[in-house]
């Protein structure tokens, strides 16, 4: 394949407002980032996944699992209403900073740095985070310092928008149930302690600075500033296209590739039949290569020989086309609504 393929994922994102039992709202819920989805697809579609890709996938997945577990503990608190934003990435002074969780209370704002680590966790004399698991030891940046930098950047950003009087606090929360946390610090806790720490913080900040309407306005303003981070797989990970598993995977025995038969797809292993399985393969294409595809690229990725068959698939999908006949390409983004 000698056509240029490049990653240009759409910058828009879907906002889900999740209402809890009180007046609180999750303005931005925990959800898989584009980077995680890209790395997840690579686990299935790359013949021999390089160690750096495996490590990156593990880190992204751990972060998502940790963030996903937080709403349960936030719901256990009996505090007044608040607005929650997970995995919020903002730009300030031409640099981006990302917060695992930002929680807007009327009397303070809370930044939570999530760590989904297993094993024994401690801080050494150099203030580095040490993870000991089995006979292996790993060194991480100090999460307290990470959260402090996020606090400083958020405070500066909010001050420019007129929100300079509301205090900001930070917590580091370890979410894995098998963590052995050996750090004595009031702001480094396990998720089980989160409801109790929140009650203490509410007493530490007794003055209500913003109304709920003002908090909601602030939350929406921050949400509008969010920008998703894209991993350019072709450029950043030096992926060899020859090692990409192409084709339409059988959903029952993946990565077995289905065969095109009589206008549909048939699995040669389990005989499962489906007319629309190519949609999920094309969603993989979006995350691997970008939102646009040509007839030739579709044939290459779906392992189709017939140009007529590829044209028929594109026509049935009803995708918007641009360009003349020779250089025509189709926008795949509408297929994301079928994402599983």
- Does 13 map to a domain? no
Judge contact between 329 and 320, C-beta under 8 A.
no
- Does 40 map to a domain? yes
CA-CA distance, 244 to 74, in Å (whole number)? 41
User: Are both 332 and 205 inside the same structural domain?
Assistant: no
Portion of the chain with pLDDT greater than 90, in percent: 75
Nearest by Cα to 47 from 277, 247, 222, 289: 247
Chosen domain end from 158, 192, 225: 225
Instruction: Order across the sheet with 264-266: list the strands.
Output: 259-261, 264-266, 273-274
Judge contact between 208 and 79, C-beta under 8 A.
no
User: Are both 253 and 216 inside the same structural domain?
Assistant: no
Chosen domain end from 225, 258, 287: 225
pTM for the predicted model, two decimal places: 0.85
**Domains: count for the chain:** 2
The pLDDT of residue 325: 78
User: Are both 72 and 178 inside the same structural domain?
Assistant: yes
Name the phi and psi angles at 231, rounded to 5.
-95, 120
User: Are both 72 and 220 inside the same structural domain?
Assistant: yes
User: Are both 118 and 186 inside the same structural domain?
Assistant: yes
User: Are both 65 and 151 inside the same structural domain?
Assistant: yes
- Does 240 map to a domain? no
Q: Which two tokens stand for residue 196?
A: 């109790």
Could you tell me how far CA 279 lies from the centroid of its own chain? Answer: 21
Name the phi and psi angles at 139, rounded to 5.
-115, 135
User: Are both 298 and 261 inside the same structural domain?
Assistant: yes
Domain residue limits at 291: 246-338
The bridge status of strand 264-266 relative to strand 273-274 is antiparallel
- Does 257 map to a domain? yes
The pLDDT of residue 304: 96
- Does 147 map to a domain? yes
User: Are both 212 and 121 inside the same structural domain?
Assistant: yes
Residue with tokens 């981070």: 229
Name the phi and psi angles at 132, rounded to 5.
-115, 120
pLDDT in tens, 12-34: 333 444 544 455 689 999 999 98
User: Are both 182 and 263 inside the same structural domain?
Assistant: no
User: Are both 60 and 203 inside the same structural domain?
Assistant: yes
- Does 250 map to a domain? yes
- Does 170 map to a domain? yes
Chosen domain end from 196, 225, 254: 225
User: Are both 255 and 166 inside the same structural domain?
Assistant: no
CATH number (domain holding residue 268): 1.10.10
User: Are both 152 and 211 inside the same structural domain?
Assistant: yes
The bridge status of strand 83-92 relative to strand 25-28 is parallel
Q: Which two tokens stand for residue 29?
A: 């819920």
- For the chain, 340 residues long, the average pLDDT of each consecutive 10-residue run is 36 42 78 91 89 90 96 83 95 94 97 97 95 93 96 96 94 97 97 96 95 95 91 71 92 94 95 97 94 96 96 95 89 92
- Does 113 map to a domain? yes
């Amino acid at each position: 394949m000698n056509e240029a393929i490049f990653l240009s994922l759409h910058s828009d994102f879907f906002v889900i407002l999740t209402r809890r039992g009180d007046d609180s709202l999750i303005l931005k819920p925990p959800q898989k980032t584009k980077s995680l989805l890209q790395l997840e697809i690579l686990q299935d579609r790359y013949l021999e996944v390089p160690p750096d890709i495996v490590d990156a996938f593990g880190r992204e997945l751990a972060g998502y699992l940790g963030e996903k577990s937080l709403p349960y503990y936030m719901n256990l608190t009996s505090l007044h209403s608040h607005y929650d934003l997970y995995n919020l990435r903002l730009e300030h002074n031409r640099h981006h900073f990302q917060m695992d969780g930002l929680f807007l209370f009327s009397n303070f704002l809370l930044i939570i740095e999530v760590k989904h680590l297993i094993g024994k966790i401690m801080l050494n004399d150099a203030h580095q985070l040490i993870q000991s698991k089995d006979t292996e030891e790993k060194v991480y940046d100090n999460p307290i310092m990470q959260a402090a930098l996020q606090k400083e950047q958020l405070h500066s950003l909010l001050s420019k928008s007129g929100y300079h009087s509301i205090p900001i606090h930070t917590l580091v929360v370890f979410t894995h149930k098998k963590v052995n946390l050996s750090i004595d610090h009031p702001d480094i806790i396990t998720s089980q302690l989160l409801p109790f720490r929140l009650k203490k913080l509410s007493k530490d900040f007794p003055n209500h600075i913003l109304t709920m309407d003002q908090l909601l306005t602030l939350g929406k303003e921050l949400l509008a500033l969010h920008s998703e981070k894209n991993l350019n797989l072709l450029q950043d990970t030096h992926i060899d296209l020859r090692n990409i598993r192409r084709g339409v995977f059988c959903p029952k025995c993946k990565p077995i590739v289905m065969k095109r038969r009589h206008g549909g797809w048939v699995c040669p292993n389990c005989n499962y039949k489906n007319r629309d399985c190519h949609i999920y393969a094309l969603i993989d294409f979006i995350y691997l290569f970008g939102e646009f595809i040509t007839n030739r690229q579709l044939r290459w990725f779906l392992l189709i020989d017939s140009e007529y068959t590829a044209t028929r698939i594109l026509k049935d999908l009803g995708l918007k086309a641009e360009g003349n006949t020779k250089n025509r390409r189709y926008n795949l983004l509408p297929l994301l609504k079928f994402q599983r």
